Structure 1
């Protein structure tokens, strides 16, 4: 799938080449009900990063000027609550340094929504691995993964936060 294919298949995605100051979108990685993830180039640090955009497709659409526009005024409270939650999540994740937690480099508000810039992790997603090599995901594999998962989850309350 090419960059342009992803742009067409992820509704409301920003175009490849769009700039946030030093960050330039290079690819639309994917999107879900609450956001879009981009691969971007950090021109200042000369490295690839990921950018996660708060884009709840059930509540908003992208306007021609790249800002988000509510589908209806009645979605205002829900959008604001989600946006605040996204910002709090970014702030919280930025406090942790754990190999199995997303490492947030920074976040910012722009286009009437919020973004978080994170380290870019290349590789295969669990969903793709399940599709391509389902035989690999067995009880032994899950038992090897659980300590890493639980270690990441345990980090949050160990630092005094509720999860």
Structure 2
């Protein structure tokens, strides 16, 4: 199964991002918008895993989150990962947060101990809102629009293992297990 470790962002943040997507649709030449039920922050992409590895991954995540209490993060800006001609991924990032960075670091390190490769790229906390998109405005104007949006604090209190599947011609992320922060 294709899987990743992630954070649910909560209903208020989801609704805020949906409203922002609706605003951006007025400036869209082409692209695919992320469905609201797929909004999340990926802490660690695992790739293909075996069913029998799930309990070992769960125990490893429990070790990684020890000593990390629930905390809040805030949405900050819009950014993108480049593609050939379009923005391959358009995302909403979060403010720099030492607790979130520590959480990513500990999960990455603990999973490395059981055979997962360490992340090679710097961790960029983000929520994907569109793919393969071309806009009629530049990223600076996108951020000017985003600055006008309300930005609620997001409580990070649970870590999930999600399975990524295609159902009814659409990608869906299904929670497999959750580990609460204490």
If asked which structure has higher relative contact order (CA below 8 Å, sep 6+), I would say 2
Same-fold call, TM cutoff 0.5:
no
- In proportion to residue count, which structure has more helix? 1
> TM-score, normalised to structure 1's length?
0.28
